[in-house]
Amino acid sequence: LFLSFQTPEEIPGITVENMLRTAKQAVTGEKVKIMAFKKELKKTMEELKIDPSYAERYMNVGFSGGEKKRNEILQLLMLAPKLALLDETDSGLDVDAVQIVSSGIEKYHTADNSCLIITHNSKILEKLKVDRVHVIIGGRVVEEGGPELIDEVNRRGFTHILDDAAAK
């Protein structure tokens, strides 16, 4: 299980690389081979347009909002969980960062895992293969459907869903 947060925490004293290596070892139960791990980390960081020097920085300390979010996707890709819960992963991101983050999520999501994305903005969903969409208002599901629901919300907004929910 992987959980990303709307506002990722800073963890002084623990480097990105050390946290990921320790977490990977805990998840797999196997000793992590350092050179292979470093090679995989560097490649994944490059794909997410993260400066490789960030591997030696303390977890999220001094990172911009976009860097924190990309760092979470780095963790997602390196740890490869069966289920990922992504809470507002697109919050506060500029257009380029949304593209990078959604590309990372797209790379993660396969037939062997599941991903639940919580968002107020459908931009992050545009590049992703979305199976189901649920609109939650006031803590309850008021509308659900397939990917076509994203297009409907983009076209009509949430107002019609609120009106339909009030009429029920």
User: How many domains are there within the chain?
Assistant: 2
Note the pLDDT of residue 126: 82
pLDDT of residue 158: 79
Q: Which domain holds residue 163?
A: 130-168
Q: Are residues 30 and 73 in the same domain?
A: yes
Q: Are residues 17 and 45 in the same domain?
A: yes
123 and 163 inside one domain: no
The pairing of beta strand 83-87 with beta strand 2-4:
parallel
21: CB partners within 8 A, 6+ apart: 32, 34, 37
> Domain check: are 32 and 98 in the same one?
yes
pTM metric for this prediction:
0.89
pLDDT per position in the chain (168 positions), as tens?
999 988 899 999 999 999 999 999 999 999 999 999 999 999 999 999 999 999 999 999 999 988 999 999 999 999 999 999 999 998 888 888 899 999 999 999 999 999 999 998 888 888 788 999 999 888 889 889 999 999 888 888 877 777 776 766
Q: In this structure, what CATH number is given to the domain that contains residue 35?
A: 3.40.50.300
* Selection from 33, 29, 23, 31 nearest residue 2 by Cα: 23
